[in-house]
Amino acid sequence: MAPASAAVKIPVEMPVVVEKRVRNRAATEKAILDAAKRLLAEEGFQNFGINAVARGAGCDKQLIYRYYGGLNGLVEAIGTDLGSWVTDRIPDDTGGMFLLTYGDLMERLSMLFLDALRADPLMRRIVAWEVSESSEQVRRLSEARSKALAGWIERMRGSLVPPKGVDAQAVNAMIFAAIQHIVLASAVSDQCAGLPLKNGKDWEKAAIALKRIVRGVYG
């Protein structure tokens, strides 16, 4: 029998420790990703670096290398997150609209994309970079969004197809470009090509015009 003074060994519950580590890592990864997106929205890629992200996240910069593999890996993570942005901001539903034609589908997507872009300063910043900067980081973010939009169309269209003779890929690119331009212009000067974009009525007028353009192509 062990002496009464012998230390009693208490078993360590390892699963609790592992769970805590996983939870702490997940929280740190989220803090890093949130800080990176916030920095991009506020400063752009000019001041986007490991040290600045680490300061914003309140963590050691080595954790960025450990969890994301460095700056490129972090940008890829932002791109993946923006892919889910499309899913979050542009739901897979018709909004009560009965989709009879491909034109119905693109009208619905155009309105959703317009509203989503107006509400997101980070995405507006990224769209602005696409037409003003040439970098690997911007290209990756742009591709992630484009892929997600194409995925939405593929999921939602079912048997709907564009009218014969219409290059839907080219037309849709022009529609998205028009939406992006008008939203970026409004953020700078509350107008675009002389069209006021200051209040709800102004945006309603713009939305009606956009719908007519879509219908003019797709019927």
What percentage of the chain reaches a pLDDT higher than 90? 53
The residue whose two tokens read 């994301």 is 68
Q: Which domain holds residue 214?
A: 87-218
pTM, two decimals, is 0.73
Residue 153 has pLDDT above 60, yes or no: yes
Domains identified in the chain, total number: 2
Residue 87 has pLDDT above 90, yes or no: no
125 and 208 fall within a common domain: yes
How far apart, in whole angstroms, are the C-alpha atoms of residue 97 and residue 104? Answer: 8
pLDDT at residue 9, as a whole number: 54
116 and 208 fall within a common domain: yes
Among 25, 41, 69, residue at a domain's last position: 69
Task: Tell me the per-residue pLDDT of 90-127, one tens digit each, with 9 for 90 and over.
Answer: 888 777 778 899 999 999 999 999 999 999 888 888 88
Single-letter amino acid code for the residue at 100: L
109 and 179 fall within a common domain: yes
Least confident segment among 30-34, 72-76, 113-117, 128-132: 128-132
Residue 4 has pLDDT above 60, yes or no: no
Q: Tell me the pLDDT of the chain averaged across its residues.
A: 85
Residue 214 has pLDDT above 90, yes or no: yes
Instruction: Count Cβ atoms within 10 A of the Cβ of residue 191 and give its class: 0-12 exposed, 13-18 middle, 19 or more buried.
Output: middle
Domain with residue 50: its CATH number is: 1.10.10.60
217 compared with 43, residue with greater pLDDT: 217
pLDDT at residue 18, as a whole number: 42
Task: Tell me the per-residue pLDDT of 16-61, one tens digit each, with 9 for 90 and over.
Answer: 444 455 568 999 999 999 999 999 888 877 788 999 999 999 999 9
- Decide if 79 is inside a domain: no
Residue 206 has pLDDT above 50, yes or no: yes
The residue whose two tokens read 């739901």 is 91
Instruction: Count Cβ atoms within 10 A of the Cβ of residue 93 and give its class: 0-12 exposed, 13-18 middle, 19 or more buried.
Output: exposed
Residue 219 has pLDDT above 90, yes or no: no
Inter-CA distances, 133 with 4, 103, 105, 129, 130, Å:
75, 33, 32, 5, 6
